[in-house]
Chains A and B, each alone.
Chain A
Amino acid sequence: MLSPLHIYSLNESAVTIKFGDIISEDILAVVTAYDQYLNAKPFQGMTATVPAYASLSVFYDPLKVIESDLVGVDAFERVQQYLSAIKIDNNTASGSKSDIITIPVCYGGDLGPDLNDVAMLHDLSTYEVIKLHTQAICTVYMIGFVPGFAYMGGMNKRLASPRKSTPRKAVPAGAVGIAGEQTGIYPLQTPGGWQLIGQTPLKMFDASRKQPSLLKAGDRVQFKSVSIEEFNQLKGGN
């Protein structure tokens, strides 16, 4: 059977479906549609999926797969057959837009030490940077790097900024940063090279929650500027 999907083996218990080589909303919609389909209708032995910019990886227990009704000489072939038979119509792939999640951010000052640099780089006032950052509806392309780190596209391109030449040794949890055309939020204190323009009081990742990561791939996000008082109040409420 000719496979229209590009599927490769990641290891003995995972395959990756590759949908393209670029970051785009259209590809994200296809990745999300396959991800939702598989999580609604997992094959026997499937354990997890990992959606990324233009790929979806599917993890499984090879013993359960070879003991299943799926057809193929080995676990890889059986999973490949199952994935190739999935029919995603264009309406499912583009029609289901998620609700917009609002993320409060206190911009500038100690919480956003690179806000001035980003403003100067683009010949904007800090007020304009905040306005552009809060106006856009961003899309979560992928959760990666550390637990709960959301890579988001859709930021106003006028704010695109290079990573810092020397990464910081410790970026605080909640820091909102820019790298290239993407924006993201550090869920834990980690080293990091993104330009930090603000901080959210929300806990982006909490292992004790049922859904530990606040965001998931495919979510739509809008930032909202809050004062330091509101930030402290919201943070205290966590």
Chain B
Amino acid sequence: MRITFIKPGLLTTVQDLGRHGYLSQAVPVSGVMDTLSARLANIAIGNDENAAVLEFTYSGATFRADDDMLIAYSGEGACLSINNKILPSDRPVFIPQNSVVKSTGNALGIRTYLAVAGGWDVPEVLGSRSTYLPAAFGGLQGRAIHAGDVLNACEPSELNLKIFESLVSSKVHHQPWLVGKGLLSKAQRSVIRIMPAAEFRWFSGSSIADLLTEPFTIGLESDRMGYHMEGRKIQRVRHDELLSTAVAPGTIQVTGNGSMILLMADCQTTGGYPRIAQVAAVDLPLCSQLKPGDAVYFEAISRIEAEMLYIEREYLLKEIAASVRAKFL
């Protein structure tokens, strides 16, 4: 299965669930920003959850299917359509050879993920297929997708083929069911759950109160490395220098002028700004769909709650994958 890009869109990269083994050499995790959407797109067509997907930023990409294909897409940055007919998301979709697929606007978020049966075939670099643009490695030649680029899928698995066979036809065809994103999504998308981070007590009580009651807005200078959070300035009561130490996606740092930066997938592995909070892993996918100008509130939860939510979600994703498998194998 193969596609050719006609228009690349604003920023389209190949990503998987990230590069986790080289943090000690300051190689960032990278990978998809919205891990939940990417994993569900993979699960829907019987892929390994870590299979490489395409990450679209907003809309504007157009590609041609060079073969009959089994795909699934998920996310909130765009809808995919063929001949102005929107393809349903979060489920397996068969598209016939020579279909031209366009991504059009979906105002809810930024990022959309396209999975293909078998996963996109790009070489593994340092154990991952993720693109890391600042150092130009991974993905398709270490860069974003250009017009004219051709992407092939890896060999499909037995499950991929069973799902493909269930849908194969002369026209677009999809399953009536969808993977249960509703079970995993929060009703209140603008409330992000956080836990206190190591330097939480370095900040004044009134700033902590601001953090937990005031809105913060995503700044214009926000990208895959991190978001500037605009709002009340955060005051410090301890002015020690922090020795650089490990940070991770979801870490909220406070810079010298009292602004907060929320670190995202391409963030540095270490940092020297004091850390006020850490976003709960289960809410990072929500953060990855935030656009400049979006306002959020933060809600404090405990470390134990955050770990329980994480484990609950992992087991739920395992169940969803198992139920897809049970339908076909």
Contact = CB atoms under 8 A, between A and B. Distances in A.
Interface of A: 8-14, 16, 18, 21-23, 35, 47-55, 57, 59, 62-63, 66, 74-76, 142-149, 151, 188, 190, 205, 207-208, 212-213, 216-217
A9 B304 CA distance: 10
B263 to A, nearest CB: 11
Give the dominant DSSP class at A's interface: mixed
A123 B195 CA distance: 50
Contacts of A48: 20-24
B245 A55 contact: yes
Interface stretch (B71-79, B114-122, B184-192, B306-314): B306-314
A140 to B, nearest CB: 11
Contacts of A21: 240, 243
B147 interface: no
Contact of A12 (B243, B247, B281): B281
B311 A52 contact: no
Contacts of A51: 24
Give the dominant DSSP class at B's interface: mixed
Given A8-B198, A63-B314, A213-B26, A53 B269 contact: no
A207 B248 contact: no
Contact of A66 (B243, B281, B311): B311
Contact of A52 (B245, B250, B280, B281): B245
Contacts of A16: 198, 245-246
Given A9-B303, A142-B270, A205 B135 contact: yes
B297 interface: no
17 contacts: A10-B248, A14-B246, A47-B21, A48-B20, A50-B269, A52-B270, A54-B245, A55-B243, A76-B307, A144-B26, A144-B269, A145-B268, A146-B26, A188-B134, A188-B135, A190-B134, A207-B138
Nearest to B20: A47
Interface in B9-49: 20-28
A57 B135 contact: no
Nearest to A150: B26
A190 B134 CA distance: 8
A147 B135 contact: yes
Contacts of B243: 21-23, 52-55
A35 B25 CA distance: 13
